[in-house]
Copies of this chain bind each other. A is one copy, B any other.
Amino acid sequence: MQTAVTIDPAAMLREAGLRVTDSRIAVLTALANNPHAGADALFVRVQQVLPNTSRQAVYNVLNDITDAGLARRIEPAGQPGLFELRVGDNHHHIVCKTCGAIADVDCVTGHAPCLTPNETQGFDLSEAEVTFWGVCANCKTAALPNTSIVPA
């Protein structure tokens, strides 16, 4: 049984041409274990390992690894930027309108035909991003009337 996701942060960084530093390793590791985490959550995680790390360092690292293509930044409306290592596979996200929880959704139809708009208004199209909105299982349960609570 594995509790931690295993990746090789140092190798990832080297391949991307980035220097291998403690902060970067810590952020990558934290991100591997917490997909869709925001800068703040990652800062907390990183501090558990490297207590002297600054918030700014986390932002730096996130920008660096995002630019380098190691991470992807998503930003559902109403939420701060979130990050994930799962990159380049064109998957999408489903976001809970109530609590903000996010789950991955694999692209159903590959190069989905309906994702090429027929009018591109003169734009050179490069990407289609799909965000599903709904209510997660937890929030659904929480919203139910408490039918089982009967006063004595």
Interface majority SS (helix, strand, loop, mixed), chain A: mixed
Bound state CA distance, A117 and B134, in angstroms?
12
The residue in chain B whose Cβ has the minimal distance to the Cβ of A127 is: B133
Closest Cβ of chain B to A75, distance in Å, is 4
B125 contacts A132, C-beta separation under 8 Å: yes
Asked whether A51 is an interface residue with its Cβ less than 8 Å from the other chain, the reply is: no
Q: CB of A96 within 8 A of chain B?
A: yes
Q: Is the CB of B135 within 8 A of A126?
A: yes
- Known pairs A77-B81, A130-B131; list 18 more (Cβ under 8 Å): A73-B77, A75-B78, A105-B120, A105-B121, A112-B114, A122-B137, A122-B140, A124-B135, A124-B140, A125-B132, A125-B133, A126-B133, A126-B134, A127-B133, A128-B131, A129-B130, A129-B131, A129-B133
Q: Is there contact, CB below 8 Å, between B117 and A114? A: no
30 contacts between A and B (CB under 8 A): A75-B75, A75-B77, A94-B120, A94-B121, A94-B123, A96-B123, A97-B126, A103-B121, A103-B123, A105-B117, A105-B121, A108-B114, A108-B117, A109-B114, A113-B114, A114-B114, A114-B115, A115-B132, A120-B132, A121-B137, A122-B137, A123-B136, A124-B140, A125-B133, A125-B134, A127-B133, A128-B131, A129-B133, A130-B130, A130-B131
State whether the Cβ of A118 lies closer than 8 Å to any Cβ in chain B: yes
